[in-house]
Copies of this chain bind each other. A is one copy, B any other.
Amino acid sequence: MSKKRGAKKLSKGKMMHSKTHAKKEEEGPKEIAAKIRELAMEIVKDIYAGRNPKFRTKQRGRSNVLFDIEEGIIRLGEKSTTRTFLNIAHAKRFLQTMLVMSKTYEYLTSNKTASIREVYYELKHTIGNTKENTFDDQRESDACIVDLEHSIDTIREKLNVHANPKGALYGDITLVDRQHHNDTFNCLKLGRGGWSIMSRMEPHEIEIKKVNANYVLVIETSAMYERLIEEDFARKNKAILIGTGGQAARGTRRLIHRLHYEHKLPVYVFTDGDPYGWYIYSVIKQGSMALAAHSELLACPEAKYIGMTLEDVEEYGLQNVTEKMKPGDIKRAKELLSYEWFQNKPWQKELKKAINLKIRIEQQALANKSLEFVAKEYLPKKIKNKEFLP
């Protein structure tokens, strides 16, 4: 798997990314636990040597976020920050970080996983004879999890910690749950519901055993996902369908990423033609500023945008089923217009057009042609003619 990706990346002269990417991908629970242990041993050494124990992580303000044009992903820069125990301003956060380190180490070595809310509740208690709680708010433990992710350069899912799942998968893809009775199932044979994507989609948990498909189609709305299944789009076009149900959850992004890198499948993203849809696409493609450190494992810079576009409105006479953009939408569209990763002609043209016309177009508006139109004409034609936005 890493070899293939390495080879692919090398051919594009993207060796650096490929190497760090492959290394990050390959780390399983053992390697991550070893990293936590190493971090802890440094602190223990500091203590025995009478030094002030320290913990180093990355700065994550906007000033340390950059867009890597070469790789096409949003990244966290190199600026780091160090917390020390013997510092009134750091002491509690330091303690909290140790608790989170110790707990995630326990998860990894005992093969348990937990939601970030459970981490908070598991670790919350009153300290000794004081009235001081270890944590008073989940935001505190969440922040420690992020510190730890950045410090050992991995994602929380590899710490066996996760947020809520969301999203569904349909198509000729066979998965194996390696941590759960080795359940093996094909997602083309689950009726029209499909498989409910897990919050953690790491290779040591879910193996993608076999995929028989030409591409991955990522769909913003659950209703359009259901439409395409009902039209038997996946079978007829050899497509893997992923319904994100709005903004894609981390597990869903990870699955898209893996399908692209492990199985070389092109990824097409199908959203509403509006600021929310464009943002969903941009997060899937190059990552987000909030999770800049994790783009390497979550983003999919070669993804393409298949629609909806304002050109569709003209081409298919959908003027009547556009919606007006609200002032907030227009403001947001203007923000997107200035983002570095939208600095290319097709997107500038698209966004400016939307801002000028003050209209948006939903994927379900295609029903105005007919229910089958999206599956029989719209998508196949776009894919055949490669009519994508970059």
Contacts and interface: CB of A to CB of B under 8 A. Distances in A.
A187 to B, nearest CB: 9
A371 interface: yes
A221 B164 CA distance: 8
Given A320-B124, A367-B121, A368-B122, A180 B197 contact: no
A196 B198 contact: no
B126 A320 contact: yes
A195 interface: yes
Given A126-B320, A177-B193, A196-B196, 19 more contacts: A112-B230, A114-B227, A118-B371, A121-B321, A121-B368, A122-B368, A122-B370, A125-B320, A125-B368, A165-B193, A176-B191, A180-B191, A184-B189, A191-B198, A193-B196, A193-B198, A194-B195, A194-B196, A199-B223
Contacts of A175: 191
Contacts of A57: none
A119 to B, nearest CB: 8
Contact of A320 (B115, B133, B189, B196): B133
Interface string A45-69: 0000000000000000000000000
Contact of A371 (B112, B196, B229, B365): B112
A192 interface: yes
A342 B125 CA distance: 34
Interface string A214-251: 00000001110011011000000000000001000000
Interface string A196-207: 111100000010
Interface string A67-105: 000000000000000000000000000000000000000
Interface string A160-193: 0010111010000001110111011100011111
A113 interface: yes
A302 interface: no
A364 interface: yes
A165 B230 CA distance: 14
Contacts of A179: 192
A78 B72 CA distance: 62
A358 interface: no
Interface string A15-27: 0000000000000
A388 B356 CA distance: 59
A223 B321 contact: no
B197 A367 contact: no
9 contacts: A115-B223, A168-B196, A176-B191, A177-B191, A184-B189, A185-B190, A191-B206, A193-B195, A198-B226
